[in-house]
Structures are given as C-alpha cells and as structure tokens.
Amino acid sequence: MAAKVLAIVLAGGEGKRLMPLTTDRAKPAVPFGGMYRMVDFVLSNLANAGFLKIVVLTQYKSHSLDRHITKTWRMSTLLGNYVTPVPAQQRRGPWWFAGSADAIYQSFNLINDEQPDYVIVFGADHIYRMDPRQMVDDHIASGAGVTVAGIRQPLSTADQFGVIEVGEDGRRIRAFREKPTDAVGLPDAPDQIYASMGNYVFTTRALCEAVERDAEDKTSKHDMGGSIIPMLVEKGEANVYDFKDNEVPGSTDRDRGYWRDVGTLDSFYDAHMDLINVHPVFNLYNFDWPIYTEQPPYPPAKFVHQWGERVGRAVGSMVSPGAVISGSLVENSVVSPKVKVHSWAHVDGAVLMEGVEIGRHAVIRRAILDKNVFVPEGAEIGVDLEKDRQRYTVSDNGIVVIGKGQRVEP
C-alpha cells in the first residue's frame, strides 16, 4: 500500500515587507506573474506530484486567498481529494495562531481526521518548481523524523538565511541556525551552505509529539523553523534534502533548481524580471509541470494601431489575456489581465497587475502597479524618484510601488 500523505500549506503570513501589496490581502494571495497568485506555485507542485489532500492554514486578511482557493482549486470529491482553506478555529482557546507550529497544534483535528503516515508542511509564498514525491521518498527511506529541504547558497550569504549545518555524512542535520555570521561550509562544498527553503516532510508521530511538546513551552516562539526543527535536530531525528537532486519534468539547465523567497518588494520585482528573458531564469512555459490558476473567460490580448509612432507593441514582455496595448510601447514588463495601455504611453521594466490603466503619453519605469491603479494622461512614474518618494512607496533598489486602486496624480 502506498503511504498516506497529508499536505499542510502554511499561508497565514502578514507579509509586512511587501506593503503596500499586502495592505488588503495575505502575502500568499498577492498576484504574481500576470495570471497567478503566489499560493498557486506550492499548490501546483503538490498537485502535479499527486498529493491531493491539501489543507491551507490561513489567518491574516485571508478573504481574497480563501476565495481564490475555493474558486480555483477544486479536486475530484469522488476520489476523496480536496484543497481547502482552514482559518484559525480557536479550538484550543480564544486566541489566534501564535506561530506556524501553533497553527499546526491548533489544527490537530485535520491530522486526526486523515490519519496520515506522513505530513508535508510547505510554505505558501515562494516561487519555485519542485517534485515533492522525490523528497517524500527520500524521507521515507531515511527513517528520519523530519526532512528539511535545503538549497545550496554561497557561504558568504549565510547571514541572510536559516542555515542547515550537516554532519560528515552530508545528510544528518547537526545544527539549524537563523542568519549566522559564523556558518560552516558543507562537507562536499566548503564554500556553500544549505539555506532552508521552509519545506518539511514529517513522520506524523514525530510532528505531533514535537508540536505538543512545543505547545507546553511558554517561552517558545512556536515557529516551525525556529522551534520544531531545532528540537528534532537535538534528538538526532532531522535530515536535509538537497534541492539540487530534485528533477522536475520539463525543466531546463537554466531554470533547474530555481527558488525565490519573494519576501521584499525588490525580490518580488526581481522574480518577475526572471520570467521575461528569451531563455527565462524561471520558465512558466514548462507544460510538463504546469502552474495552475483560475482561468477567467477573458479574450486574447490585443495590440492595436500602426501609424507613425503610434504602434501598439510589446517587446521582451509577457502579456496576459484581456490586455489591450493601444498605440503604445511596452518593454521588459509583465502585463496582467484587463490592463489597458493607451497611445504614446511608454512602459519599461514594470509589473502591471489586473485592471491597471495607463493614459496617453504616460511614462512608467521600474515600477509595480497593483490592481486597478489608474495613471492619467502624461503622468510619470519612476522618472523622478525623489518626487515619487513623497507620494508612493519606493524600495531600496528604486522600484516605485503603487497600492491597489490608487489614482496617480498627474
């Protein structure tokens, strides 16, 4: 008999560093790549791998996330499969989730209902492709209590990650430290470290025992990475899974092993730019391992006008259904559904979310415009950053970010 596996997706993050994109929604609900939401990437990885019993634990500003999951992620009830959002239920008392470990503790009923042999616990706000079957198989073969997915990063960047330090066998975790300045390199690559991807596979018994023990510790932060994994490391029950060993069907040498934590505005922007190269760093066009999302009945994108400089065109860009590029130039950008770019406008290096409208002669450079932003005729964004800082959010790297539904000043 195949092992019984339950997947738990942690989707309760506030995403404060992504403000204003998270003003009105949870971080996993933030649109990404034109047509998707962040949560679609982890759910697609699980679904493609055949793990079709999935619960998504939500908490902050979860309405749009709940609605997206409910409308989009429908499985065959005939086979007992499901993807369902589960809010904080306060089963243990009148309080919200105190951390990711507490979220699982308060949701033990989900595990008790399914009685799985193994539990996948993945985050909901990373952009990547992965075949979780290979990680589960590795975990089962190891006999460990938990297996933590690690991605190799330069030793010099250790202070930016949760770092997994391993023993001489390269598998058993001997330390799990948050942003250390004195990290030790890997046995087979002294100039590299394992950065935690926030993805775990647990033997059910090990998970439940650790979470129950953590719940009794009033000094704990009740965090999976900060509390539960170190506990199992101390008991000698934690292994690492090397992400470079994961083979995703249809992947290329260029995009194999891609993983991005889009926790800041700059990383969010950079991840979008990774999509639009001729040979993209992250390839959305891998039809052997598709990323699923809602597909509204929008018409194909349209490019209109061809008169002098009034030519509707997009170069080095992704343009979604329902968009109209009218007598304007779009370069190096990601254009979401129902976007309208009017004549003589110039958009370069931008992320335009659904329903954005760009007026005539407007100029948009290195910017993120959230849903339904209206840019009037002749307005400029990203041209004078000092002026933009007085009105909008500007990231450390100079990306101008305009929140949902705002009307740009002329």
Residues flagged as binding site for alpha-D-glucose 1-phosphate = 162, 178-179, 196
- Per DSSP, the residues of 299-316 read PPPEEE-EETTEE-EEES
State how far the Cα of 360 lies from the Cα of 343, in Å rounded to an integer: 5
* 100: enclosing H helix or E strand: helix 100-105
CB count, 10 Å around CB of 184?
16
Check if the beta carbon of residue 326 is closer than 8 Å to that of residue 305: yes
Beta bridge pairs of residue 350: 367
The backbone torsions φ and ψ at residue 130, rounded to the nearest 5 degrees and listed phi first, read -155, 145
Pull the structure tokens for residue 49.
Answer: 């791998």
Beta bridge pairs of residue 86: 57
Residue 45: helix, strand or coil by DSSP? helix
Q: Give me the residue label for tokens 């998707």.
A: 36
| Annotated binding-site ranges | 162, 178-179, 196
Check if the beta carbon of residue 72 is closer than 8 Å to that of residue 43: no
Beta bridge pairs of residue 380: 363
Check if the beta carbon of residue 43 is closer than 8 Å to that of residue 73: yes
Check if the beta carbon of residue 165 is closer than 8 Å to that of residue 176: yes
State how far the Cα of 367 lies from the Cα of 352, in Å rounded to an integer: 8
State how far the Cα of 17 lies from the Cα of 113, in Å rounded to an integer: 36
State how far the Cα of 77 lies from the Cα of 368, in Å rounded to an integer: 39
Q: Which residues contact 4 (CB under 8 A, 6 or more apart)?
A: 114, 115, 116, 117, 118
